[in-house]
Amino acid sequence: MWHEMNGLDGLEELRLALPELDSGSPVFPEIMTEDENLIVVDACGGSCITVGGLLVEIACARAISNDLAIVQVRNCRHRCMILERLHNASQRGLSFAAYWLDNGVINLTTMTDAAGVWMTYDAENWLLGNSGSMYIVSSPSMMSVQSHLNTMLSPDSRSQSRITVGVMQTGYERAIEQGISVDEDLWGQLEKLVARILVPATQSSRTGAGPG
């Protein structure tokens, strides 16, 4: 819902991800290689809705211990859904960037605890080591993140489109005032998914569930 409330069409991405969410088969990312700064992770075809949190945690842990982290994520789907994870993690005082190729266009988001932006670029101006990957960059310093981006992006490159924190805030305020409309088909699919996951509230089901 965070994406939808911020004007980023999150419900459509959720619709596309529902077959995976409904499969009942969890996906666990695997670290393939790592060195001082770069960690290569295979997301095994998982969606950022389900595996995005773990990917961002990997970046956070390395950034805290090593000042700069670059996580190359292979075989990951619904990559724009990483934005909410980055936004939440940025509240810890870390700065982030994430970028990936989609339909010949580079998507780039940068996120700090004070601001966020989502831009698109012509792919020919980028030096991507693996065009099928998403890259997550994290550091306590936004200058370190920007320095990395400067090595990837041609000085002549100009963004094709730009969604700023102001645009996101406007979408958020509109959603608070007017609510979010979910079509009946998607709502029905979500209800079926929830019904399969939840269990009746009994003394047995509450065991180990914590307070409340």
Residue 77 CA, distance from chain mean position:
10
Residue 136 resides in a domain: yes
Contact between 162 and 117 under an 8 Å Cβ cutoff? The reply is: yes
Determine what percent of the chain is predicted with pLDDT higher than 70: 56
Tell me: pLDDT of 7 over 60: no
Higher local confidence (pLDDT), 65 or 186: 65
SS3 46: coil
Residue 177 resides in a domain: yes
Counting Cα atoms < 13 Å in the Cβ hemisphere of 35 gives 1
- φ, ψ dihedrals at 102, nearest 5°: -145, 115
SS3 84: helix
d(CA 72, CA 137): 9
Q: How sure is the predictor about 78, in pLDDT bands with cuts at 50, 70 and 90?
A: confident
CATH number (domain holding residue 77): 3.30.1370
Query: What total number of domains does the chain contain?
Result: 1
Residue 210 resides in a domain: no
Q: How sure is the predictor about 201, in pLDDT bands with cuts at 50, 70 and 90?
A: low
Stretch among 81-95, 121-135, 188-202 having the lowest mean pLDDT: 188-202
Q: How sure is the predictor about 186, in pLDDT bands with cuts at 50, 70 and 90?
A: low
Of residues 6, 2, 41, 38, the one with CA closest to residue 173: 6
Residue 41, CA distances (Å) to 46, 131, 133, 170 in order? 12, 15, 10, 35
Residue 211 resides in a domain: no
pLDDT at residue number 158: 61
Tell me: pLDDT of 60 over 60: yes
Range of the domain at 158: 2-199
Residue 205 resides in a domain: no
Residue 46 resides in a domain: yes
**Sheet hosting strand 69-74, strand order edge to edge:** 30-34, 38-42, 69-74, 134-139, 95-102, 105-111, 116-122, 161-164
